Structure 1
């Protein structure tokens, strides 16, 4: 049986191991992002400003199952194209750290001066949440999302291109700190290209996030995000970036047991 000094030493060892793991994750994330944007100032040719209004809803059916839905409007100030989207999926909680989700989304980009693009997007998620402090105020979240994109493009109501099918993996990561009813976070998201790599970079898009979340009550929260989104081409680095302000409403609904 452990004596008190041994238990204290074991607890300190566990905490140190958690912090070492977190430092490794942060170092790897920073290294990846620095590598991706290393030649932004040389290669970048354009940028734009965007406003993203987003609503998230999670209906809790029981302790294990939920239905997650979101809807959004994306306005691009420097372009004539804008986007609406709706997505829904069923989520199953495996344990206290991991969940899986499968869903479907519809995205429509409309441009009065150009092409309109409609997209059907099935997706499969692996979601993780890991507390890294004893009081649970520090935590790390991650998500691996596999997406299959089926796109149709039209100009002036005439079909100009058949369905184009693409596949990609998105990996997002964020460290958050909760202070009373506020939560602050920084992180990023990598878009990994599974299609033609002769012209497309392996990681062809990256988003860097800064987040402020205000908890209104147990079922409702408001969140503001600044997103820098960089797009990459093979052997050219970042050729395009967008500065995005995303305003989110996040709601949880509990059904009767």
Structure 2
């Protein structure tokens, strides 16, 4: 298993060095606390940089609670603060945008043998520097454990998703985000994940794409140690 993890790290390293200087990096720390078999609290911190671990321009911090209706359906409410810096360098003001956001979310899960598929629907209310906006998101996520049927400590898995962003202002199709990567469940609490993100904006003043390498640390504090650890970021 250590050999598999080493191979994944080496492949990602080769990808980094093969890219130009404009490849960004995306960093996530996520913590989830299961209170019982229905309720869960979470918090998440993110930073992003325009270049690989340099020229940091964005951070967000958010949290909320979720409720599992059953094993296939859950609902969530979250709040967060999001800041984008316009200056050159690391978190250099002025702000390009400051935002306070509330969102509501419905998640549906499907299981096709070992393949775990997630459909995520989200409605957001965004108070931004340039005014208020509604946004709607749909994410299709697939996760495949490689060395077992369940996501438990010692499992290496593949993960990929595509997400579309819609809003109530023209142009209504705002953004597309694609991710592909791999993760490893180190312990009952700790999971690490790394992968490639392509984000393309379709708005009139921000049209264009950006590539990132994303590195994530997920901490899952489960009330039941026998439960399957299904890593999921709140982004």
- Report TM bin, short chain: 0.7 to 0.9
Matches within 5 A, 1:125-136: 125-133=105-113
Residue 186 of structure 1: how far off its partner (Å)? 2.3
Matching of residue 146 in structure 1 with residue 113 in structure 2: no
Residue 167 of structure 1: how far off its partner (Å)? 0.8
The CA distance in 2 between the partners of 1:82 and 1:233, in whole Å, is 19
Q: Work out which of the residue numbers 197, 210, 213 in structure 1 matches 2:183.
A: 213
Matching of residue 120 in structure 1 with residue 95 in structure 2: no
Residue 147 of structure 1: how far off its partner (Å)? 0.9
Matching of residue 249 in structure 1 with residue 217 in structure 2: yes
Aligned length: 190
The CA distance in 2 between the partners of 1:131 and 1:255, in whole Å, is 23
> Which 5+ residue runs of structure 1 have no aligned equivalent?
1-46, 153-162
Name the larger-Rg structure.
1
The CA distance in 1 between the partners of 2:22 and 2:174, in whole Å, is 17
Residue 84 of structure 1: aligned partner: 59
* Cα shift readout 1:171-210 (whole Å, capped 9, x = no counterpart): 1112221112111122200001212x2xx2x222101110
Q: Work out which of the residue numbers 129, 133, 137 in structure 2 matches 1:166.
A: 133
Q: Work out which of the residue numbers 58, 75, 83 in structure 1 matches 2:32.
A: 58
> Which 5+ residue runs of structure 2 have no aligned equivalent?
1-20, 148-154, 225-235
TM-score, normalized by length of structure 1? Answer: 0.68
Q: Work out which of the residue numbers 45, 51, 76 in structure 2 matches 1:101.
A: 76
Secondary structure at 2:165 match in 1: strand
Structure ranking higher in helix proportion: 1
Residue 118 of structure 1: how far off its partner (Å)? 1.5
The CA distance in 2 between the partners of 1:233 and 1:53, in whole Å, is 24
Residue 239 of structure 1: how far off its partner (Å)? 3.8
Secondary structure at 2:202 match in 1: strand
The CA distance in 2 between the partners of 1:139 and 1:194, in whole Å, is 32
After the TM superposition, which of the residue ranges 83-92 and 210-219 deviates more from structure 2? 210-219
* Cα shift readout 1:19-51 (whole Å, capped 9, x = no counterpart): xxxxxxxxxxxxxxxxxxxxxxxxxxxx95321
The CA distance in 2 between the partners of 1:186 and 1:108, in whole Å, is 26
The CA distance in 1 between the partners of 2:65 and 2:160, in whole Å, is 27
Secondary structure at 1:217 match in 2: coil
Residue 81 of structure 1: how far off its partner (Å)? 6.3
Secondary structure at 1:105 match in 2: strand
Matching of residue 177 in structure 1 with residue 144 in structure 2: yes
Displaced runs of 4+ in structure 1, greater than 4 A? 78-81
The CA distance in 1 between the partners of 2:195 and 2:131, in whole Å, is 31
TM-score, normalized by length of structure 2? Answer: 0.74
CA RMSD after TM alignment: 2.3
